[in-house]
A and B are shown apart, each in its own frame.
Chain A
Amino acid sequence: MSDPGVEIDCRDLPCPRPIIELARALPDVPVGGRLAVVARDPAARYDVPAWCRMRGQEYVGEELTDDDVPRYVVRRLS
C-alpha cells in the first residue's frame, strides 16, 4: 500500500473497545488518510463497517497482519 496510515493495535481488547479506540484515533488521521485497527474480537468484522456507515467514514476492507490477525482498514472522509 502506498499510504500505510495510522495503525492501532487492539488485538487483545474485547468488544466494543476496538471501536472506541478507532473513534479516539480518528482525529489523528488527515482527511483522506487511512486508519487501520488490528482486532481478534469477532464482532469487529461487523462493527468496523457499521461504525463507518454510522459515522460517515469509508470502510476499505479487511487484511491480515504478518502474524495473521485481522486488520480492518478505514479511510477518513470527514
Chain B
Amino acid sequence: MSSTPEVYLDTASAARLHPAARDTLLAALERGYADPRRLHGAGRDARLLLDNARAVIAECLDVRPDEVGLTSSGTDAVHRGLLGLTAATGRDGIVHSAVEHSSVLHAAQWRPSPVHASIAVDATGRVDLLALTEAARTPGVGVVALQSANQEVGTLQPVDEAELPDGVPLLTDAAAAIGHVPLPRSWSVLTGSAHKWGGPAGVGVLVVRRGTRWQNPFPGEDGLDGSGGFANVPAALAAAAALQAVLAEQEEVASRQFRQVARLRAVAAALPDAEVVGDPERRLPHLVTFSCLYVGGDEIVSALARRGYGVASGSACTASTLEPSHVLAAMGALTHGNVRVSLACDTTDEQVEGFCTVLPEVVARIRKDAGL
C-alpha cells in the first residue's frame, strides 16, 4: 500500500462532500428532522428548510421553485421523469441516444414498447441528431431522452439543437454536467444528482417545466412535491448549498480542469497502442477516458490504486454485469484496458503530473508481465 493518501480521481462516480455542504448538513440535522407537512413548530422549521433548498436549487438551475422536485437519487429522478412523461400522454415510446446513463435504458426496458428507439452515436460519442429527430416523429413516441453530457467519455450532446415535433418533450439527464458546464436550455424535463456535484448522496433533482404534461408514474401522491415519500430535508439543504458553492467557482475551476485534462489526454494518447476516446473540445472539463490494448481494466485500476491513484473503468472485468460499457461499445471504442479519470475541483497540477509519470510505467509493466 502507498503511504501517502490516495489521489481521488473518480469524482464522476461520486464527488467528495463540498465543505459548504458539510457545514450546512450538520446545522440542518439539528433543525430539519420533523415532517415538513405538519403545522407544529418543528414541522414549520423543516418546511422552511425544504422550501429554502428548493428555492436555491431553482435559482442555481434558472427555473421556478415549483418546477423543482426532489427525489431519492439521480436514477430515481430519471425513472420518474421518463415514465411520468409517457404515463401522462399514454404514448409509451422512448427515443434515446445509445450512450445514455443506464437509468434511461432500464426505464425503457421496464416499460417495453415497439416504438422505443436507441439512436447511434459517432466515434466521439455525439448522437446522430438527424436520426434522433426523425425517430421522434414516429407515432407513439412520448419522450426523447438526450443527456447534457456523457458520464463516461465527457462528450457534450447537442441538446439545444434538437428540433422535436410539437408535443414530444425532451428529457435531459444533466447529472454529469451540472456544476461543470453551462446547461442546455431547450428541454421540458431535467434531472440531476447531488452527489455528482459535491452534495450528499440520496438527493436527486427532477425539474419539470410548467406546462409539461407529467404525472407521478409510481404509487403515491401526484405532483412533484413529496411524491417519493418523506423528504431528506437536511440532505436537500446541503445539496443546495453545495450547488451554490460549486456554481460560484465553476468558471475558474472548469478552465483549470480543462487545461489539466488536455495534459492528461496528451499523455494517454502518447502511450503505445492506446486511444483517447470522446470529443477533444466539446467535452466536460474534468473528465477523460482512454483505453490501452492488451491490458485488463481491473489490472490497470488495481495497479494505479497501488501507486496511489483512484480511477474508474468501463471495462467488462470491472463491471458487475461482466458486460463492457455500453457507451464504449456504441462508440466502437476499445472496451478493455479502459480508464476514466475525473478530476476534483481541487486537484492540483502536481497531482496531475504525478499521474502522468506513473501511468506509462503501470501500462508498460502490465504488458511486460503478460509477455508482450
Chain A residues close to B by CB (< 8 Å) = 14-16, 19-20, 23, 41-43, 45-47, 49-51, 53-55
In the assembled complex, which residues on chain A have CB atoms less than 8 Å from the CB atom of B322?
42
Shortest distance from the beta carbon of B243 to any chain A beta carbon, whole Å:
36
Q: List 20 A-B contacts (CB under 8 A).
A: A14-B296, A14-B317, A15-B336, A16-B294, A16-B296, A20-B294, A23-B372, A42-B324, A43-B335, A43-B336, A46-B328, A46-B333, A46-B335, A50-B332, A51-B293, A53-B332, A54-B273, A54-B275, A55-B273, A55-B293
Q: Is the CB of B316 within 8 A of A43?
A: yes
Residue contact B334 to A51, C-beta cutoff 8 Å:
yes
Q: Which residue of chain A lies nearest to B336 when distances are taken between CB atoms in the complex?
A: A16
Chain B residues, Cβ within 8 Å of A45? 329
The docked-state distance in angstroms from the alpha carbon of A45 to that of B322 is: 13
B residues with a Cβ closer than 8 A to A are: 273, 275, 291, 293-296, 315-317, 322-324, 328-329, 332-337, 370, 372
Chain A's nearest CB lies how many Å from the CB of B81?
A: 30
Q: Which 9 A-B pairs have the closest CB atoms?
A: A16-B336, A50-B334, A43-B324, A43-B316, A46-B329, A15-B336, A43-B335, A46-B335, A20-B294
Chain A residues contacting B315 (CB-CB under 8 Å) are 15, 43
Known A42-B324, A43-B335: A15·B275 in contact at CB below 8 Å:
no
Expressed in whole angstroms, the Cα–Cα distance for A54 and B334 within the complex equals: 9
Please indicate the chain B residues that have their CB under 8 angstroms from the CB of A19 in the complex. Answer: 293-294, 336
Q: Do A47 and B332 touch across chains, with their CB atoms under 8 A apart?
A: no
Contacts of A46 in B (CB 8 A): 324, 328-329, 332-335
- Please name the residue on chain A nearest to B296 by beta carbon: A16
A20-B372, A42-B323 known; A15 vs B329 contact (CB < 8 Å): no
Specify which of B323, B328, B329, B337 is in contact with A16 (CB 8 Å cutoff). Answer: B337
Q: Are A23 and B294 in contact, with the CB atoms below 8 A?
A: yes
Q: Chain B residues near A20: list those with CB within 8 A.
A: 294, 370, 372
For B317, the chain A residues whose CB sits under 8 A away are: 14-15
In the complex, which of the residues A14, A50, A53, A55 contacts B335, with contact meaning CB atoms closer than 8 Å? A50
Q: A43-B324, A50-B291, A50-B333 known; 20 other A-B pairs, CB under 8 Å? A: A14-B317, A15-B296, A15-B317, A15-B324, A15-B336, A19-B293, A20-B294, A20-B372, A23-B294, A23-B372, A41-B316, A42-B316, A42-B322, A43-B315, A43-B336, A46-B335, A47-B334, A47-B336, A54-B273, A55-B273
The docked-state distance in angstroms from the alpha carbon of A15 to that of B273 is 16
B-chain residues with CB within 8 Å of residue A14 when the two chains form the complex: 296, 317
Which chain A residues border B332 with CB–CB below 8 Å? 46, 49-50, 53
Query: Which residues in A have their C-beta under 8 angstroms from that of B295?
Result: 16
B residues less than 8 Å from A41 (CB atoms): 316
The residue among B275, B315, B336 with the most chain A CB atoms within 10 A of its own CB is B336
B328: chain A residues within 8 A (beta carbon): 46
Q: Which residues of A contact B370 (CB under 8 A)?
A: 20
Chain A residues in 8 Å Cβ range of B273: 54-55
Bound Cα distance A49, B248 (Å): 45
CB neighbours (8 Å) of B323 from chain A are 42
Q: How far is the CA of A23 from the CA of B317 in the complex (A)?
A: 20
